[in-house]
Amino acid sequence: LYFATNGASWNSKLNWMSSTVSFCEWIGITCNGDGQVTEIVLEGNNMTGSLTTVQFESFPYLKKLCLAENVLTSAIPSAIGTLTSLQILDLSYTSFTSSIPTEIGLLEELKYLSFRNINKVGKISSALPTEIGLLRSLEHVDIAYNEVTGTIPSEIGTLESIQFMDIGGNKFLQSTIPSELGNLSSLKILHAGLSKIEGSIPTEIGRLSNLEVLNFSVTPLTSTIPSEIGLLSKLKTLYLVWSANISGQLPSEIGMLGNLEDFYLDGTRIMGGLPSEIGMMSKLSAASFGSCQLSSTIPSEIGNLQALTMSNLQSNNLHGPIPSEFGRLGLLKYLVLNKNDLTGTIPSEIGNINTLEQLDVYDNQLVGSVPGVVCDLTNSTEGGVLSSIVADCELTCDCCDTCVD
């Protein structure tokens, strides 16, 4: 390993290749009580070169191999499959090219696997091997920001122990989300954004009973949001932003997401109205639905979202009045309603929101004036924190910092 990766230039090489010091005392090496190597951890050590000549079969007891943040080139060697005791394999932020070897499926004890590779020149550029489905002990897999192509293999549905999966930032040309994904009952976090995955969000997504984070942002998915999304009772974060072909109406079942905290739909083609059931999402903190195709009125039930700190509904086709129930949201900081067709006056109840920092209501059909009690929120000497009010110039406003013609 030392000679294959230009050990003379490593940042730290204490005791390496010393004839008078046991290899168990070389920096980055950990041994068990029998003097067998169990860990090699040399991340960020200025290692350069290829691993193709490393004799991995010499480490039958190795449980952890971490060579992240080094400039390791060429392919990931197939001999890595001889590390049958391996539990942690971290080769993230390196410069490997070509493919993930099929021999990866031989690592039956593996729990943690990372080839994450953001902002690096060398990237894995072939399909995921189906053998990845043999890793029944795997809990964490991260292959984000490579150039993985082909389809997402249905065999991922056999990863019964998986809790974290990030496959985002890859090509996955002409790939859909396999329905077998619904078998991953232990999965807590799923990131697949910034990928080329196509097709629909499978209804089987509703079987991910432990899912807490779901990210399908910036994909060409052509889908509605399935009503089965409401079965994800532990979901805390839902990102679908700028997946511009996601369309249809929000299913009323989203009201069943009682643990959801962050809900981002910006840039999708979600249309119709916000279902009144949105008021049942008692833990919702951030709701961002900007630049969608929402129409109808804003439901008064939005006033039930007592945990809400940010409401972004800009650039839609919403009409009718601004609900006075916004005034019940005692934690709200950002209320962004610009570029809609809202009518009537700005409700004085907005002045009850002592936490409000930003109010954008321009490019609507509002009339009258900005209520004085709302302007009072800009008075920092009285505890006000409202620093930005942007309204149409047709409105009378003594406290707006900007008006829009």
Is pLDDT above 80 for 141? yes
pLDDT-based confidence at residue 119 (cuts at 50, 70, 90): low
DSSP 31: E
pLDDT tens-digit readout, 344-388: 999 999 999 999 999 999 999 999 999 999 999 999 998 999 999
pLDDT-based confidence at residue 126 (cuts at 50, 70, 90): confident
3-state helix, strand, coil in the chain (%, to 5): 20, 20, 60
pLDDT-based confidence at residue 118 (cuts at 50, 70, 90): low
Query: Percentage of residues in the chain with pLDDT exceeding 90?
Result: 94
**Among 21-25, 32-36, 92-96, 222-226, the least confident range:** 92-96
Residue 82 falls in which region: left (phi positive, over 0), alpha (psi -120 to 50) or beta: alpha
State both tokens at 194.
């910034």
Is pLDDT above 70 for 120? no
End-to-end CA distance of the chain: 67
pTM for the whole structure: 0.96
Average model confidence (pLDDT) across the chain? 96
pLDDT tens-digit readout, 163-215: 999 999 999 977 999 999 999 999 999 999 999 999 999 999 999 999 999 99
